[in-house]
Amino acid sequence: MKFDVIILAGGLGTRLASVVSDVPKPMAPVAGVPFLDHILKKLPHHNIGQLILAVGHKYEKIEEYYGNLYQSIPIVYSIEKEPLGTGGGIGKAFTLVKEKTALILNGDTYFDVDYEQMWQTHSGNGGLMTLALKQMPTPDRYGTVLLDNKSIVRFQEKQTGLNSGLINGGVYWADASLKDELPKMEKYSFESEVLEKKVKEGKLTGHISDGLFIDIGIPTDYERAQEIFAH
């Protein structure tokens, strides 16, 4: 089964500016190579139709480094001239999807999900989209997700004092038909305009993974990533 991969690589990296300022966030060096390399390396290469990099801020640095091919997988660029928000970025990239299904990833987050198992969850539940979820102790920094069996029933705002909770790990498996259900506006938030609405329609499935989760947008996690990927 072939699928396309969309990677959101347009982040400004404002929280990382003290550490990395001259490249887009996914190009921040981690253990000697761009962080994006660690994400790409983990993908099941033989199943990918094309890599779609949704880029913006200083995207030339990404294009210069990767060109139009990653280990024989074609790379196409979805270029945002101005920031379109997470939704606008995904919407623009989705117009380039050719396969029947697409995997969407964040270029500044590494989540060690078993993609094969996640696909089984997605194809077995017939939803529009499946989200990879991670059980986190004290998830104060994140909103949490409520799951009923495999169906996502609610997204909760950030709240302090929780001992643990499921968080949205920013890895999505989506059917190509998603492009017909995206808002027609150019700039919007994927979380509020798509996820919040689709959860009410009962179209979202959750896949829990206990794999390593690192968001390098936070300087402490960026430092932790250096140690983890050095081995």
Please, what are the domains in the chain? 3-130+170-204+213-230 (3.90.550.10)
Statement: residue 90 has pLDDT above 70? yes
pLDDT tens digits for 165-199?
999 999 999 999 999 999 999 899 999 999 999 99
Element (H, E) at 65: helix 59-66
Q: What is the mean pLDDT of the chain?
A: 91
Confidence of residue 134 (pLDDT cuts 50, 70, 90): very high
Q: What's the whole-number mean pLDDT along residues 64-84?
A: 94
User: For residue 13, what pLDDT is reported?
Assistant: 56
